[in-house]
Amino acid sequence: MNKFPFSASGFANLQSELYDLPNSELALEAASISSSLIDWLKSHFILEAKQITYLHHINAQVIDFLTHEIHFAIKNRLPIYLNKSTENFGDEQGKLIKPTSNLTATSEDGSFMPGGELIIDISYTRSSKTVQNLFEEHQSEHNYNYRTVLS
């Protein structure tokens, strides 16, 4: 299987390739997600070293949640959308990962009916260190001390 850029279009292209697979092969992909979401992401996306490092630092409960949601959506050929902010604050940035889903599993007369979609929003924020640096730069540009003004 091809590796794709970690972007909205890359994720859409991967999803299209996955959903073209026969059910048995798609079930193997879903099992691979359950086994290790991080390894699955590394094998399907072109990632920079810092992205891989970041993946290994995501809270384990978030990884568990994402694993369950992505596994269910892919196994049942449900839509997943990746929305990544393009705003970049350089090396001094934080990331906010916010998955939102309305995935459903319904049973009527013994049948199984999956539904819904998963949206994964990734946005970037200034780290507190960067905010502090901006404050200090602003302070020195205006050549006064805020503590003196506020006293």
Burial of 98 (0-12, 13-18, 19+ CB in 10 A): exposed
How much is the pTM? 0.78
Cβ density class 9-29: b for 16+ within 10 Å, e for less: ebbeebbeebeeeeeeebeeb
pLDDT tens track of the chain, all 151 residues? 789 999 999 999 999 999 999 999 999 999 999 999 999 999 999 999 988 998 999 999 999 999 999 999 999 999 999 998 877 655 545 778 889 999 999 999 999 999 999 999 988 776 555 444 545 554 454 444 444 444 3
Q: Can you tell me the distance from the alpha carbon of 47 to that of 77, in angstroms, rounded to the nearest whole number?
A: 24
